[in-house]
């Protein structure tokens, strides 16, 4: 499910504003957005690299994330699941008690 951010409050993108050059007729600042590091990027999984038989480049392709980063994300998820919220489903369903 996609996170619906309020306008200007997205924590996965950084808004960059710069003033136009003095030669320009516009007084409005130019805005540009770029991705930034965020905890919430964890919930937007990277593309799994496809292995190409002809071009074995060690698990990366031009549009994908290296296998090491995918493994690191998986390890983080296991820590969250096992140590931070070990019985999350039980708490959500009401089966867990204090």
Q: What is the pLDDT of residue 71?
A: 85
One digit per residue, pLDDT tens: the chain, 98 residues?
778 888 878 888 887 777 777 766 666 667 788 888 887 877 776 666 666 655 555 544 455 667 787 788 889 888 888 888 888 888 888 887 76
- Scored b (16 or more CB within 10 A) or e, 22-50 reads eeeeeeeeeeeeeeeeeeeeeeeeeeebe
Q: What is the pLDDT of residue 51?
A: 67
44 in Cβ contact with 65 (< 8 Å): no
Same domain, 53 and 77: yes
Same domain, 18 and 63: no
Same domain, 52 and 82: yes
Q: Which of 37, 35, 46 is nearest to 13 (CA)?
A: 35
The domain total for the chain is 2
Q: What is the pLDDT of residue 73?
A: 82
Q: What is the pLDDT of residue 96?
A: 78
User: Does residue 3 sit within a domain?
Assistant: no
């Amino acid at each position: 499910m996609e996170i619906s951010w309020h306008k200007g409050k997205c924590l996965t993108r950084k808004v960059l504003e710069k003033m136009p050059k003095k030669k320009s007729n516009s007084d409005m600042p130019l805005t540009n957005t770029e991705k930034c590091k965020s905890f919430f990027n964890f919930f937007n999984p990277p593309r799994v690299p496809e292995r190409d038989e002809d071009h074995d480049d060690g698990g990366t392709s031009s549009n994908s994330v290296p296998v090491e980063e995918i493994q690191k994300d998986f390890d983080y998820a296991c820590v969250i699941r096992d140590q931070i919220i070990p019985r999350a489903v039980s708490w959500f369903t009401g089966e867990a008690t204090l």
